[in-house]
Amino acid sequence: MHNPEDRSFIGHPRGLGYISFAEAWERFSYYGMQTLLVLYMVKFLLHPGHVEQIAGFEPFRHLIEYFRGTLSIQALASTIFGLYTGFVYLTPIAGGLIADRILGRTTTITIGALLMSVGHFLMAFEVSFLLALLCLLLGVGCFKGNLASQVGALYSTGDNRRADAFQIYYLFINAAVIISPLVTGTLGEKVGWHWGFGAAGVGMLIGLAIYLVGRKYLPPDSPVVEKHDKASKTPLTRREKLALLALIALLPVLTIAYLVWAEKAANFPIVFGKQMPTTWLIALDAGLSVSCLAGTVVFWRLWSKKFPEPAEITKLGIGSLCAVTGFLSLAAGAALAGADGKVSIGWLVAFHLLNSIGFANVFPVSIALYARVAPAALSATIIGVYYLAFFAANNLVGWIGGFLEKMPTPSFWLLHAGFCVTAGIIFLIAGRLFGHLLAPGENENVPGKTAS
């Protein structure tokens, strides 16, 4: 049974272990597919002889080009990728509403996992490409926000372990992302695309099995299912409403759209006698992310022994500004490229390191903040709203990606740096103006009260 005071999993409730392992396998499948998606389209699917086999693709392409104009294979792939990764962050709102108001989290998560598995397997066939993307979008919507909301619900109101729990949660995610490109990426690029997509589908089924096995250690289901949970009848206070509005207004716009350029412009080292696959860069990024997440936890704990630890919103500003240096390193690498247009892999490593430091101070902190502020009856929905900003950001990636062929590469990355600078400044100013709305309320340290 779920016990908020349980410390059997590295000082946290046992349910955190099951959620983290389930999410790790889901991320293995998701990033495995995403790692291959653009490369699959650019190198294979969108070329003559293959693109004609995709059911419904001509009307879909005409719709895109109606708004964007005639697109090259590179620009079309970038646009499709941007639409997909954008809608991935839009559908969790619907998934959260379904869980909070109709089916409950357990049923919604199960449906989501099954839809994602079907989507991954359908990706192995050219004809079902668009249907596969639809299944994946619907599946992620049902799965993503609902599982994350259960991390916050593991703890009593005011339990300081919640922030650490999301750090651990992201450590598991990034550990999976390290493995995923090495498995799905290598299979897809070196053996066959369908092998990579198939491995992603198997990973999703494993994640679902782990979640269902550990269900008894997880928090009670959504109030709509747990009829005795009176939290669903608790009205929002004025402070809660203002805090939710503040969070919506402050979500970061951090985008990364460099994978295809990296393949063309980087001097990849020879690994084990062969050229390093582009998809291995994702594993490098995940490895650095794991290290930086762990290092950030240690850093702030040591900092807090001598100095006051910054508020969550201040950490978001710090993280955004750290990410700026990563994009500046890409701009510098492109500016210093040799006559053949190739740049040293060192610039890409610098980007991954600096961006990972920024990541460690933005995403776990922000989602923990959302989990704490969200009322119990709307927890999954509010986590879905958290992902809404990334819907716009990832569609912006698809649009900006089209400029890769039209503008100097250093300017392309300076444009990204400008977004990060803007986000960092907004966070720091907002912390001064209304950070008090996002601080724990007076009732948050009273066990048993609804999270606010």
- For 248-295, write each residue's pLDDT tens digit: 666 544 333 333 444 444 555 555 556 666 666 666 666 777 888 888
Instruction: Read off the pLDDT of residues 303-328 as tens digits, 9 standing for 90 and up.
Output: 878 888 787 778 888 888 888 888 89
Q: What is the pTM of this model?
A: 0.73
**C-alpha span between 245 and 161 (Å, rounded):** 25
State the pairing for strand pair 343-344/266-267. Answer: parallel
Identify the three-state secondary structure at position 274: strand
Q: What share of the chain is helix, strand, coil (3-state, %, to 5)?
A: 75, 0, 25
Task: Say what the pLDDT of residue 279 is.
Answer: 61
Radius of gyration of the chain (CA): 22
Element (H, E) at 437: none
Cβ–Cβ under 8 Å, residues 94 and 102: no
Instruction: Please enumerate in sequence order all residues whose Cβ is within 8 A of that of 46, keeping only pairs 6 or more positions apart, or say none.
Output: 73, 76, 77
Cβ–Cβ under 8 Å, residues 282 and 35: yes
Residues of the chain under the 70 pLDDT cut: 1, 4, 157-158, 160, 222-236, 239-240, 243-286, 341, 376, 389-402, 404, 439-452
**C-alpha span between 248 and 238 (Å, rounded):** 16
Please report where in the chains the tokens 């892999």 appear, as a residue. Answer: 345
Task: Give Cα separations from 223 to 101, 129, 241, 366 (angstroms).
Answer: 8, 37, 20, 24
Both tokens assigned to 50: 């293959």
First to last CA, the chain: 25
Cβ–Cβ under 8 Å, residues 39 and 81: no
State the pairing for strand pair 270-271/274-275. Answer: antiparallel
Type of residue found at 178: I
Type of residue found at 48: P
Both tokens assigned to 312: 């969550």
Task: Say what the pLDDT of residue 412 is.
Answer: 80
Provide the H-helix boundaries in 154-192.
Answer: 161-180, 186
